[in-house]
Chains A and B, each alone.
Chain A
Amino acid sequence: MEVRNCDENEYSIEVEDVYKHYRIYKDKGSQLKEKLLFWSRNKYTENNVLKGISLKVKKGEAVGFVGHNGCGKSTLLKLLSRISYPDKGIITTRGRISGLIELGAGFHPDMTGRENIYTNASIYGLCKKEIDRRLDRIIEFSGLGEFIDAPVRTYSSGMYMRLGFSVAINVDADILLIDEILAVGDGEFQAKCLNALKEIKSRGTTIVIVSHSLNQIEEICERSYWIQNGEICMEGEPREVHKAYLEATVH
């Protein structure tokens, strides 16, 4: 991954001092009544999830995020993919982003696998020509064989995931965001996914992985971030970070 040109575009992702809170409404059901009668905002408490996160990811680099349930890993990924926006701070991304957060989005059970490839890929922002060009590659990678022309409702859940994953990974994004989805399919397919990720990375794609299976991160990433209490509590070589993280978890 020697994609080091020294201009400012060296970084694929720059996150500067980002804050994010969620509102937790006490009573969402009575919105109309409250708004009309009291002309007041709903009562809510604030949950500060991210409190000043800064990080930079170079082009072609792969990094992992680890941390306890609810520490804000998925929140951070959502900010990177622009599903939601930070309260404060700036996030800069360079290149097309593809998020592997939900596989098989928009699948219609009555349509065939092939038809669903078109729907699903279009959600990643590909146009018809771009999908045509990738179609064979997607079908080949999914390993579904002749099932590709059967309605998706006849698929097993593993087959469904395989198809979703094949589409997502063949989008050819510049930045790939992955949230806990590497555990799909059987052992063989998982190995295939890991290899595919390594290959994609060697082509210069930036990868961000959130996972509780630390081994996967260690296999692909050169850096890991441990997030705790809304801040980055440790950053560095995955094996070292994970060791510290596991030790802290046990004690």
Chain B
Amino acid sequence: MQKTDSRNEALSVRKTGQKESFLQTVREIYSYRQMIVAFVRRELRGRYKGSFLGFLWTFLNPLLQLCVYSIVFSTILKSGIEKYYLFLFVALIPWIFFSSSVLGGAASIIAQKDMVKKIYFPREVLPISTVTTNFVNMLLCFIVVFAVVILSGIKLNFLALLCLIPVWIVEYILALGMAFLTSAVTVYFRDMEHILGIVMMAWQYLTPVLYSYDIIPPQYRLIFDLNPMTPIISAYRDILYESKVPDLKSLISATVMGLVVLVIGWITFSKLKRRFAEEL
């Protein structure tokens, strides 16, 4: 037999009853990377398939949202914040990534239930694909964000822009952790999907997306500081609206909280995944 495929040497002997180690699982997910690529591509291309403007909608969507906000907030709801449309826009795009990753992640396993019941593959692939799809979508939206920022006359700070990369990564980690958690729990507890709709709405208001961190009364700041999305959204706003380097201390605390969520999500997922095929 041709054994040219180098992978799998470590994976080849499988024993149920033995616990799968963390490293084994990671290696296996890596060997299924093409599945993640294929799912992300299928999802991104399929999203606007059949519509006249097709993939252009990826850019049109945030642009039109921006139009609505700038009209509403410059004529009806005057906020007193300078360039409020931009203030909102640079925070909203990352928030939409997070919120659609959590909600989409929650549905990701149930949506593929026929596959989960009939084919073996590392189950982690499904939430990873959903989050990655939304992440790529956000990066594409950032083309629009950059264009709008430049057109509105903000001088971007190069060093601050470099900080976008770690901020993206931290938000991805947090979103992935949440998606692991919600996708696994939703399989056993279907009401989760509906509960999450409300939770994410409340979460958005408990994060300085629509307003700035400064207007939060000091006695409530602790709640906001324990919310990992607070420093992440603030960092985006620092970089793109204030064009300054974000606060390092709050970025570190966001990283730590993101990693904690990822670990909790991963452990929950590992515990629950064994019975997915039966519960679906």
A→B interface (CB under 8 Å): 22-23, 31-32, 78-79, 81-86, 89-97, 99, 101-102, 105-106, 108, 110-111, 118-119, 121-128, 130-131, 172, 174, 203-205
Residue contact B46 to A108, C-beta cutoff 8 Å: yes
B152 at the interface (CB under 8 A from A): no
A99 to B119 Cα, complex, angstroms: 7
Return the contact of A90 from the options B17, B119, B120 (Cβ within 8 A). Answer: B17
Q: Report, nearest first, the 7 A-B pairs whose CB atoms are least far apart.
A: A102-B118, A122-B34, A122-B35, A119-B38, A122-B38, A91-B16, A90-B17
A149 to B170 Cα, complex, angstroms: 41
A82 to B11 Cα, complex, angstroms: 13
Closest to A33 in B: B191
For window 215-256 of chain B, which residues contact chain A by CB distance below 8 Å?
A: none
Sample (9) of A-B pairs whose CB atoms are under 8 Å apart: A79-B16, A81-B120, A91-B16, A93-B13, A95-B8, A97-B120, A99-B118, A123-B119, A204-B1
Write out the residue numbers on chain B whose beta carbons fall within 8 Å of the beta carbon of A174. Answer: 1, 12
For window 1-31 of chain B, which residues contact chain A by CB distance below 8 Å?
A: 1-2, 5, 7-8, 11-17, 31
Write out the residue numbers on chain A whose beta carbons fall within 8 Å of the beta carbon of B12. Answer: 94-96, 174
For window 36-60 of chain B, which residues contact chain A by CB distance below 8 Å?
A: 37-39, 42, 45-46, 49-50
A94 to B9 Cα, complex, angstroms: 10
B→A interface (CB under 8 Å): 1-2, 5, 7-8, 11-17, 31-35, 37-39, 42, 45-46, 49-50, 114-121, 189-191, 274-275, 277-278
Closest to A126 in B: B34
Q: State whether A127 and B115 are in contact (beta carbons under 8 Å apart), knowing that A84-B275, A84-B278, A86-B16 are contacts in the complex.
A: no
A22 to B278 Cα, complex, angstroms: 8
Residue contact A127 to B33, C-beta cutoff 8 Å: yes
Tally of contacts, chain A with chain B, CB under 8 A? 116
Write out the residue numbers on chain A whose beta carbons fall within 8 Å of the beta carbon of B46. Answer: 108, 110
Residue contact A102 to B119, C-beta cutoff 8 Å: yes
Write out the residue numbers on chain B whose beta carbons fall within 8 Å of the beta carbon of A94. Answer: 12-14
Residue contact A32 to B189, C-beta cutoff 8 Å: yes
A151 to B7 Cα, complex, angstroms: 32
Write out the residue numbers on chain B whose beta carbons fall within 8 Å of the beta carbon of A90. Answer: 15-17
Residue contact A131 to B274, C-beta cutoff 8 Å: no
Return the contact of B2 from the options A23, A78, A172 (Cβ within 8 A). Answer: A172
Write out the residue numbers on chain B whose beta carbons fall within 8 Å of the beta carbon of A85. Answer: 16, 274-275
Return the contact of A122 from the options B13, B17, B37, B49 (Cβ within 8 A). Answer: B37
Write out the residue numbers on chain B whose beta carbons fall within 8 Å of the beta carbon of A131. Answer: 34
Residue contact A78 to B277, C-beta cutoff 8 Å: yes
Residue contact A108 to B190, C-beta cutoff 8 Å: no
Closest to A118 in B: B38
A81 to B119 Cα, complex, angstroms: 8
Q: A95-B8, A106-B115 are in contact. List 19 more A-B contacts (CB 8 A).
A: A22-B278, A32-B191, A81-B120, A82-B16, A91-B16, A92-B13, A92-B15, A93-B14, A102-B115, A102-B119, A105-B114, A110-B49, A110-B50, A122-B37, A123-B115, A127-B33, A172-B2, A174-B1, A174-B12
Write out the residue numbers on chain A whose beta carbons fall within 8 Å of the beta carbon of B119. Answer: 81, 83, 99, 101-102, 105, 123
Return the contact of A106 from the options B2, B33, B38, B120 (Cβ within 8 A). Answer: B38
A192 to B42 Cα, complex, angstroms: 31
Residue contact A92 to B14, C-beta cutoff 8 Å: yes
A192 to B49 Cα, complex, angstroms: 36
Return the contact of A83 from the options B42, B49, B118 (Cβ within 8 A). Answer: B118
Write out the residue numbers on chain A whose beta carbons fall within 8 Å of the beta carbon of B8. Answer: 95-96
Write out the residue numbers on chain A whose beta carbons fall within 8 Å of the beta carbon of B274. Answer: 84-85
Return the contact of B114 from the options A22, A84, A102, A110 (Cβ within 8 A). Answer: A102
Residue contact B118 to A130, C-beta cutoff 8 Å: no
Write the nearest CB–CB distance from A124 to chain B, whole angstroms: 8
Of B31, B117, B120, B278, chain A has the most CB atoms within 10 Å of the CB of: B120
A122 to B277 Cα, complex, angstroms: 20
A149 to B200 Cα, complex, angstroms: 42
Q: State whether A84 and B277 are in contact (beta carbons under 8 Å apart), knowing that A99-B119, A110-B50 are contacts in the complex.
A: yes
A96 to B38 Cα, complex, angstroms: 21
Closest to A107 in B: B42
Write out the residue numbers on chain A whose beta carbons fall within 8 Å of the beta carbon of B278. Answer: 22-23, 84
Return the contact of B35 from the options A81, A97, A123 (Cβ within 8 A). Answer: A123
Residue contact B120 to A128, C-beta cutoff 8 Å: no
Write out the residue numbers on chain A whose beta carbons fall within 8 Å of the beta carbon of B35. Answer: 122-123, 125
Write the nearest CB–CB distance from A8 to chain B, whole angstroms: 10
Return the contact of B31 from the options A32, A91, A97, A125 (Cβ within 8 A). Answer: A125
